[in-house]
Amino acid sequence: MERIMDHLAHERSKAQFSVEEMKIIWAGSLHAFQVSDRIARLVASDPGFRKDNRAVLSRKELFKSALRKAAYVWKRINELALSEEEASWLRFYVDELAYAYIHWGMFVPAIKGSATEEQQQKWLPLANNMQIIGTYAQTELGHGSNVRGLETTATFDQETDEFIIHSPTLTSSKWWPGGLGKVATHAVVYARLITDGQDYGVHGFLVQIRSLDDHFPLPGVTVGDIGMKFGSGAFNSIDNGFLRFNHVRIPRNQMLMKVSRVTRQGKYVESNVPKQLLYGAMVYVRQIIVADASIALSRAVCIATRYSAVRRQFGPPHEDENGKGVETQVIDYKTQQSRLFPLLASAYAFRFVGEWLKWLYTDLIQKLEANDFSTLPEAHACTAGLKSLTTSAAADGIKECWKLCGGHGYLSSSGLPELYAAFVPACTYEGDNIVLLLQVSRFLMKTISQLQTGKKPIGTTAYMAHVEHLIQCRCTVQKAEDWLNPSVILEAFEARAIRLSVACAENLTKFATPLQGFSELSPDLVEAAVAHCQLIVVSKFIEKLQQNIEGNGVKQQLETLCNIYCLNLIHKHLGDFLSTGSISPKQASLASDQLRSRYSKLRSNVIALVDAFNYTDHFLGSVLGRYDGNVYPKLYEEAWKDPLNDSIVPDGYHEYIQPLLKQQLQNARL
């Protein structure tokens, strides 16, 4: 048997902590680690889940392959009698975007969140058993961010006890819903509810769009795919669709009636729950997307880190561990470290804030069940803000990882182009990132205005209770080591965040109306929201370190990562920190000194820190990120697999190359 050479073994031997213990920290618990590890291996070893040929498939082949895998996933879930937790891990590791993401991720949560108990009893078993396949049809051709502006109508017909769903204009066509184009049989459709001639705004309706017998669209329904999207592979395996209704009738009881309902007599009745619960599915998915951002970024970082340890360029002649003369590993260049290590730290930071957000969401759901709606505004602000912050940083980070791999990063076989193409729309879907930050700033301005009324800020805004101190406090750092003190870091971030918010609140008073002020100051408001969200990530990382963290050297590594995450943010947003007086220029320079020293401290551990993500080679899907670091022979092998190399002389030679060459030869002879 061929011995598998581990080109990264020397790097691994330098680690100063227990990788196995770090894997548990990354996974969240021993149980989560064990389940995810088992399912990851199951997927990796099953040829039915092969994905290395995706980049060369045509759109139709890719789509069909995704359908096949989704069906196979369902088959394996049933054959192996997987629990809900195991089934989620299976879908996750299969790593192929398909209608199932929207079905499980949005359609089912929308029913759970907005349907009455009775409605849930009818529809959830059908959805859970895949007897119907659902999509989430909110966005329209002319309206995405502005949900209140949706045009699709649902008009109540008292005579027949039905709603008539209609698309009155081209711009009211539903546009984008995943799984809609070719697969979904049902949709949660967001439409303006009209009864008794009055428009009650946007509500959710459960509408069947395709026949369960022959899959044809039902009468009055026009539906199709919106076309190819950015990047090969990526989102092209999914059928984002358009949908138009021509007076399609549905029974009255297919309005999702938890928040409000229409009676048999056509009377609109509100329940005691806030109308924002209609947007509950968005809060749920935004929270998941934060976890997804840490995964996408950590995948890219894992690839770039391993490859940076394998790749050598320039440098004074070294001897490797076998005494052979070699060039410098690119990971030893300080520029490479200053680009890569903050991304590694961000992956961990996002993981922990994602864990916390999951807790916040679970807590919200428990409270909602007890009719306590008090934490809904904060949950909305946190999910919206952190979704925005983490997806923007992860998308930029993935792109940076691809550049960190030089030319080879641009190859499909690096896995990075597809990862980027698949992840970058997360900056837009589930709410455009700027629009979401404006929601956070609205929440912050409201919190500040309530300070004057004596209302005590809670949760992630609790720091605002100390506004008087934070507005005038001075950072105490005198030497670089002082930047390792978590309370010093926290106070600098709190001071920057509150000073930016207070400045916005003061400036807003200078405008004739709040609306005008919000519009004029929106770039500043976005910066204040970013500062607040970064403070949340920083504080959750620091809180994580205060927990009981077991394992040889694990806590020390996390402390170093936390320092890097925070100090790099200070470095990147120096303008904010200096202009608000939260730190001085001298302290900024000490922060940079400390940051450099943290990079050196981290260096020998980075391969082990990416190993702790516990990604299989199958999941990573990258020649550059292979666990064994055996990059070059595998790149060469992959190149040979390209369809262009199927023949020695390419198709088209006889039509287009040979005649051209002959013509030129003849011309030369003349």
Ligand X SMILES: Cc1cc2nc3c(=O)[nH]c(=O)nc-3n(C[C@H](O)[C@H](O)[C@H](O)COP(=O)(O)OP(=O)(O)OC[C@H]3O[C@@H](n4cnc5c(N)ncnc54)[C@H](O)[C@@H]3O)c2cc1C
In angstroms, how far is CA 335 from the centroid of its own chain?
A: 27
Helix, strand or coil, per DSSP, at residue 130: coil
Taking CB atoms, the residue at the shortest distance from ligand X is: 144
430 is catalytic: yes
Helix, strand or coil, per DSSP, at residue 463: helix
Looking at residue 647, the DSSP 8-state letter turns out to be S
450 binds ligand LCXGKVS4 (CB under 6 A): no
CA-to-CA distance for 531 and 602, rounded, in angstroms? 26
Nearest distance in Å: CB 398, ligand X: 16
Joined tokens for residue 310: 């394998």
Angle at 135 between CA 129 and CA 139, to 5 degrees: 165
Joined tokens for residue 387: 């979704």
Joined tokens for residue 383: 């999910």
Site map 177..196 versus ligand X, x via CB under 6 A: xx------------------
**Which is nearest to 55 in space by CA: 624, 502, 597, 621?**
621
148 binds, among ligand X, ligand LCXGKVS4, none (CB under 5 to 8 A by kind): ligand LCXGKVS4
231 binds ligand X (CB under 6 A): no
Joined tokens for residue 165: 């769903």
179 binds ligand LCXGKVS4 (CB under 6 A): no
434 binds ligand X (CB under 6 A): yes
88 binds, among ligand LCXGKVS4, ligand X, none (CB under 5 to 8 A by kind): ligand LCXGKVS4
439 binds ligand LCXGKVS4 (CB under 6 A): yes
* Identity of the residue, 445 or 538, whose beta carbon is nearer to ligand LCXGKVS4 in the bound complex: 445
377 binds, among ligand LCXGKVS4, ligand X, none (CB under 5 to 8 A by kind): ligand LCXGKVS4
Q: Are 415 and 566 in contact (CB under 8 A)?
A: no
Q: Are 307 and 572 in contact (CB under 8 A)?
A: no
Q: Which stretch binds ligand X (CB under 6 A): 331-339, 391-399, 429-437, 588-596?
A: 429-437
Amino acid at 183: V
Nearest distance in Å: CB 650, ligand LCXGKVS4: 37
285 binds ligand LCXGKVS4 (CB under 6 A): yes
- Going by their DSSP bridges, the two strands 260-262 and 268-270 should be labelled as antiparallel
Q: Are 610 and 306 in contact (CB under 8 A)?
A: yes
Q: Which stretch binds ligand LCXGKVS4 (CB under 6 A): 58-66, 280-288, 554-562, 627-635?
A: 280-288
**Which is nearest to 570 in space by CA: 592, 586, 601?**
592
240 binds, among ligand X, ligand LCXGKVS4, none (CB under 5 to 8 A by kind): ligand X
431 binds ligand LCXGKVS4 (CB under 6 A): yes
N residues, the chain? 670
* Identity of the residue, 283 or 566, whose beta carbon is nearer to ligand LCXGKVS4 in the bound complex: 283
Q: Which stretch binds ligand LCXGKVS4 (CB under 6 A): 110-118, 347-355, 427-435, 551-559?
A: 427-435
Q: Which stretch binds ligand LCXGKVS4 (CB under 6 A): 142-150, 217-225, 540-548, 657-665?
A: 142-150
**Which is nearest to 611 in space by CA: 632, 635, 628?**
628
Backbone φ, ψ for residue 224 (5° rounding): -170, -175
Q: Which residue has the tokens 């943290």?
A: 598
139 carries a ligand binding annotation: yes
Q: Are 506 and 586 in contact (CB under 8 A)?
A: no
515 binds ligand LCXGKVS4 (CB under 6 A): no
Helix, strand or coil, per DSSP, at residue 157: strand
Site map 152..181 versus ligand X, x via CB under 6 A: ------------------------xxx---
Q: Are 397 and 441 in contact (CB under 8 A)?
A: no
147 binds, among ligand X, ligand LCXGKVS4, none (CB under 5 to 8 A by kind): ligand LCXGKVS4
Q: Which stretch binds ligand X (CB under 6 A): 8-16, 85-93, 130-138, 192-200?
A: 130-138
581 carries a ligand binding annotation: no
* Sites for ligand X among residues 471-530 (CB under 6 A): 522
Angle at 463 between CA 460 and CA 465, to 5 degrees: 120
Joined tokens for residue 299: 């995948």
Site map 438..457 versus ligand X, x via CB under 6 A: x-------------------
Q: How many helices (H) and strands (E) does the chain have?
A: 24, 13
Residue 353 has, within 13 A of its CA and on its CB side, a CA count of 34
Q: Which residue has the tokens 């803000």?
A: 385
Q: Which residue has the tokens 């870091």?
A: 489
Q: Which stretch binds ligand LCXGKVS4 (CB under 6 A): 53-61, 98-106, 210-218, 653-661?
A: 98-106
Q: Residues 34, 37, 40, 45: what is their CA dihedral angle, to the nearest 10 degrees? A: -110
Nearest distance in Å: CB 379, ligand LCXGKVS4: 7
Nearest distance in Å: CB 62, ligand X: 15
138 binds ligand LCXGKVS4 (CB under 6 A): yes
138 binds ligand X (CB under 6 A): yes
Site map 409..428 versus ligand X, x via CB under 6 A: ----------------x--x
* Identity of the residue, 431 or 517, whose beta carbon is nearer to ligand LCXGKVS4 in the bound complex: 431
CA-to-CA distance for 537 and 565, rounded, in angstroms? 9
**Which is nearest to 240 in space by CA: 183, 279, 190, 308?**
183
Three-class secondary structure assignment of 541-581: HHHHHHCCCCCCCHHHHHHHHHHHHHHHHHHHCHHHHHHCC
Q: Which segments are annotated as binding site for FAD?
A: 139, 178
- Site residues for ligand LCXGKVS4 per CB under 6 A: 88, 91, 101-102, 104-106, 136, 138-139, 145, 147-148, 178, 276, 279, 282-283, 285, 288-289, 292, 376-377, 380, 429-431, 435, 439, 442
Which sequence positions are flagged as catalytic?
Answer: 430
- Site residues for ligand X per CB under 6 A: 102, 136-139, 144-145, 176-178, 235, 240, 425, 428-429, 431-432, 434-435, 438, 522
